[in-house]
Structure 1
Amino acid sequence: MLKRSEKVYFRYRGRQMDVKSLYERLRRSKWPQHQNYHYSPIVTFEVGGQPMKVKLVFVPNRTDHSQYLVLGTTKTTLEPDQIIQLYGRRWQIEGYFKVAKQYLRFDQTQVQSYDGLCGHMAMVMMSYDILALHQREQVDERTLGDLFYNFGRPLPDIEIAVALAWLMRQLTGLGEKLGLTTTIIDELFDQFIRTLPNNLAQLLGNGV
């Protein structure tokens, strides 16, 4: 995503202009606007004195059509809808880090060993997956919207229940190697399953 800065210039049809001026010129040209985006021109941007072609996509704000995002990519062969889709996937990563840091204490650990940090990171990611699963099962178009579903279709996620079942099998084998009795392992897993949401605990209990 590009900032609408007046200090960054692109060359379009022989003229240097910032993204705001470019948008106004495209708007005055009366080019037809599309449903998912307004305009998608190919401009030239200089990097280290070398010209580079960049494809810009002006994406409107659904609630305020006077506002828009500017997406840019050097892969000029991509269609505007593909560029928007790729940005949507990238934004999910930013959303994960925000939730992980603000609510799951991703960057607030006292652990200093490598194995401990890996374990901490794994627990944070597992917690986020459980929250994301719960959110995805809630049908609320005001918060999820069509973009959440459209961006998720090309990259199907592994089911959290399947991932947890695999993890439990691995931990069972590890516990047996460490000499833990079956009773102790079952008790630990029972306590863990009781902390999960009911629908997820039911799937694990059915042997998914």
Structure 2
Amino acid sequence: MSLKELYRLATPIQGKKGLLRSIHTTQANDVPIKVVFVRNRNKKSEWLAILSTDCTLSDQEIIRIYGIRWDIEVFFKATKSLLKLQKEYQSRSYDSLISHTTIVFSRYIVLSWQNRCSTD
């Protein structure tokens, strides 16, 4: 079953900003999942689907956890692509790798702080 079909079957949720619908279903391998449909902030006419294998979580909790996970994904993408975490320095020494990673993460913290100061 496609996500569009699941969206049509899911019960609409009233009064929850950004939260459109949710439904319990199973994957092809019989793993139970909960699908939460939320409004796309970039395109209000579209929705996004968030899947969770922990069906006991509330819709809001699934969205909150996804938001935290997304911040982590953005952090690693920035450190790899913009700050060259893997390409800038190559060594076989464990201590050198830890030192380099610490420096890259410190640069990220300083740049994030500067960005926040300039936008606040």
Letter in structure 1 aligned against 2:91: V
* Aligned ranges 1:1-208 → 2 under 5 Å: 17-26=1-10, 31-33=12-14, 34-47=16-29, 51-108=30-87, 109-139=89-119
Structure of greater relative contact order (alpha carbons < 8 Å, 6+ residues apart): 2
Structure 1 residues 25 and 118, CA, compared in 2 at 3 Å: closer, same or farther?
same
Larger radius of gyration: 1
Q: CA deviation at 1:71?
A: 0.6
Gaps of at least 5 residues in structure 2 are none
Gaps of at least 5 residues in structure 1 are 1-16, 141-208
Structure 1 residues 67 and 130, CA, compared in 2 at 3 Å: closer, same or farther?
same
Aligned residue pair count: 118
Moved beyond 4 Å, runs of 4+: none
Letter in structure 1 aligned against 2:8: E
Q: Which residue of 2 aligns with 1:170?
A: none
Q: Match of 1:124, SS? A: helix
Q: Normalising by structure 2, report the TM-score.
A: 0.85
Contact 2:33 2:55 in 1 (8 A): yes
Which is richer in strand? 2
Q: Normalising by structure 1, report the TM-score.
A: 0.52
Contact 2:6 2:23 in 1 (8 A): no
